[in-house]
Amino acid sequence: MKTGYLLTFILSLGLLALSGCGGGSNGSGGTTTVSGVASKGIFTGGTVKVYALNSDGSKGTLLNTVSINADGSYTAAIGGYAGPVLTEASGSYTDEATGTAMQVSENAPLRAAVQNASGNVQVAITPLTEIAVRKATDTATSKITVASIGASNALVATVFHVADIVATRPVDVTSTASATASTAQKEYSLALAAVSQMMKDNGQDLATVVSQVSGAITGSGSGAWLEGSTAAGFQAALQTFVSDTEKNKTGVTDASSTGLAGVGATTATVRLSTQGSATALNGIQVTLALPAGVTVRAASSDGSSGLTPLAGLVSATGVVPAGSTLAARYDAPTDTATARLALALVSVAGFPAGEFATIICNVAPGVTISSVSFTPDAFSNLKAVDESGTVVPGVTISAVVTQ
C-alpha cells in the first residue's frame, strides 16, 4: 500500500487540516492570569474587575481589580484560583461611529465569562461577550448557569460570524494599524463598530442596542441566527461604517467580502456523496462552487489570506472510516465569483461509494437552496484515486441539502 503517495496527494493541494478554534486558555500551573482587551470601541481608560463564580452562578469573590491601559488592554493576576470567572469592564472609550468620548458606567459594565479559567487566559470584554453573559443567565434567578457559559459564547460567535468572541483581541478600527490585523480581529472589531453605528443611526444608547440585539437572537447551537429587522439594521450599519474610509482604517470597504455578511443568515447542511462502480477509494479531491448567497464560516489561522473552515463545519461522515484525514480550504465570494470550498479526503483503509463529507453552510436572508442547487457544474477538479494513486474512473459527486 503506497501510503506515502496518499500523503503527497493531500499535501499537494496546499490545504490546511481542520483544526479547533477558540477556547481562550493555554498553559496551566499554579497562577492564573486573565488578560485581554476591553472594547466598545477600544477603551482608553477604566477598570476591569475579575470575580470568581460560585457553583450556583452567583458572583463570588472579587479576585482582582486592575486598570485598563490607553490601548484597551488589561492584565489581572488572580493567584491560584482556577475555575469559572466573570469579568466586568467600565470606563471611557472612543465611539467608532461618532468619534466622541463615551462612558460605560460601573453600575452597568460590559461583562465576559469564562467557564474554566486556568493558566494564561485571553478574555475580550465587549458588547458581544455581554450578550453571551445574558444568554447564559437564568432569567428566573438572575444567576449565570456556569455549565452554559461555553455554549453561550459559542452561540454569539455563531450569530455574528466571529471566530471566538472571548479569545480574539479586538483592534482599533479607526487606527491605520488595524489594516495589518488578522481577518478574525478585523471582523470582530467591525462587528463592534456596527453596534456603534446602530446606536448613531437609531439615536439609541448602548444598553438599548445590546438588549435589542440579544432579544433578536433565535435558534440554538450552529443553527442560531439574528432575526429580521435587527439583522437588516446591523447589515446597514455595518456597510455604512466600512464605506466611511475617514473612520474605517481596516482596509475593508465592502461588508459583503467579510464573514459578517452572513449575520442574519440561516444554516443549511450539505452532504456530499460519491457514485460509481468502484468498490474502494483511498483518496478524493474536489472543489465545490457554492450557490450565490451561500458561505462557510472560515478564518485565517495565521493572519494570512488563506482561509480554513471553522472547527466542526466540514467533517468526514458516512462511509468514511475512523482515522481518515479530511482537509479543506475556503475561498470567500468576490464580485465575480461565488464562494468555493476545496476538499481533500485520504483514507489508508479505503472507503466505498456513498456519503463522505458534511458541510454546514450559512444561507443569506431571502436565499433558499436545495439539492438541485448543486448541478454537476458545481463540482470541479474532481479526482479519485485508489491505494496506488491510480485515478479511479467513473466517479461522480452529488449533494443532498437540508435547510
Query: What pLDDT does residue 257 have?
Result: 77
Q: Do 36 and 138 have their domain in common? A: yes
85 found inside a domain? yes
Q: Do 385 and 321 have their domain in common? A: yes
* Grid cell at residue 190: 467591525
Written as one letter, the residue type at 106 is E
Domain span including residue 189: 176-257
Q: Do 109 and 50 have their domain in common? A: yes
C-alpha span between 277 and 209 (Å, rounded): 57
166 found inside a domain? no
Which of 298, 227, 289 has the alpha carbon at shortest distance from 263? 227
Better-scored residue on pLDDT, 1 or 35: 35
- What is the pLDDT confidence band of residue 239, given thresholds at 50, 70 and 90? very high
Task: Specify whether the CB–CB gap between 372 and 237 falls below 8 A.
Answer: no
278 found inside a domain? yes
Mean pLDDT of 52-81: 97
Please say if the pLDDT value at position 20 is more than 90. Answer: no
Q: Bridge partners of 17? A: 327
Mean pLDDT of 374-402: 94
Query: What pLDDT does residue 11 have?
Result: 45
Number of Cβ atoms within 10 Å of the Cβ of 253: 12
C-alpha span between 224 and 233 (Å, rounded): 18
Q: Do 253 and 279 have their domain in common? A: no
Q: Do 97 and 156 have their domain in common? A: yes
Query: What pLDDT does residue 22 have?
Result: 34
Query: What pLDDT does residue 18 have?
Result: 35
Domain boundary among 95, 126, 160: 160
- What is the pLDDT confidence band of residue 1, given thresholds at 50, 70 and 90? very low
Q: Angle at Cα 100 formed by Cα 67 and Cα 122, nearest 5°? A: 35
Please say if the pLDDT value at position 255 is more than 90. Answer: no
Give the lowest-confidence range in 33-37, 197-201, 220-224, 399-403: 220-224
- What is the pLDDT confidence band of residue 153, given thresholds at 50, 70 and 90? very high
Please say if the pLDDT value at position 365 is more than 80. Answer: no
Give the lowest-confidence range in 117-121, 222-226, 315-319, 396-400: 222-226
Q: Do 304 and 383 have their domain in common? A: yes
21 found inside a domain? no
Mean pLDDT of 262-274: 90
Mean pLDDT of 87-111: 97
207 found inside a domain? yes
Q: Do 79 and 131 have their domain in common? A: yes
Q: Do 275 and 324 have their domain in common? A: yes
Q: Angle at Cα 206 formed by Cα 265 and Cα 133, nearest 5°? A: 65
Better-scored residue on pLDDT, 311 or 32: 32
Radius of gyration for the chain, computed over Cα atoms and rounded to the nearest angstrom: 23
Residue located via cell numbers 465576559:
112
- What is the pLDDT confidence band of residue 3, given thresholds at 50, 70 and 90? low
Written as one letter, the residue type at 306 is G
C-alpha span between 153 and 6 (Å, rounded): 38
Q: Do 251 and 323 have their domain in common? A: no
Structural domain count, the chain: 3
Q: Please give the mean pLDDT across all residues of the chain.
A: 90
Q: Do 37 and 133 have their domain in common? A: yes
Please say if the pLDDT value at position 44 is more than 70. Answer: yes
374 found inside a domain? yes
Q: Do 92 and 207 have their domain in common? A: no
Beta-strand relationship, 101-104 and 225-226: unpaired
Query: What pLDDT does residue 297 have?
Result: 81
Q: Do 242 and 284 have their domain in common? A: no
Task: Specify whether the CB–CB gap between 195 and 236 falls below 8 A.
Answer: no
Query: What pLDDT does residue 13 have?
Result: 47
Query: What pLDDT does residue 301 have?
Result: 59
Task: Specify whether the CB–CB gap between 51 and 85 falls below 8 A.
Answer: yes
Better-scored residue on pLDDT, 301 or 353: 353
CATH number of domain containing 328? 2.60.40
C-alpha span between 343 and 35 (Å, rounded): 37
- What is the pLDDT confidence band of residue 310, given thresholds at 50, 70 and 90? confident
Domain boundary among 257, 286, 319: 257
Query: What pLDDT does residue 14 have?
Result: 45
Domain boundary among 99, 125, 160: 160
CATH number of domain containing 118? 2.60.40.10
C-alpha span between 37 and 171 (Å, rounded): 8
Q: Angle at Cα 159 formed by Cα 329 and Cα 325, nearest 5°? A: 30
Query: What pLDDT does residue 258 have?
Result: 84
265 found inside a domain? no
Mean pLDDT of 227-231: 90
Mean pLDDT of 332-344: 90
What percent of the chain lies above the pLDDT cut of 90? Answer: 74
Q: Angle at Cα 262 formed by Cα 256 and Cα 265, nearest 5°? A: 135
Q: How buried is 105 (Cβ within 10 angstroms: 0-12 exposed, 13-18 middle, 19+ buried)?
A: exposed
Please say if the pLDDT value at position 27 is more than 50. Answer: no
Please say if the pLDDT value at position 121 is more than 60. Answer: yes
17 found inside a domain? no
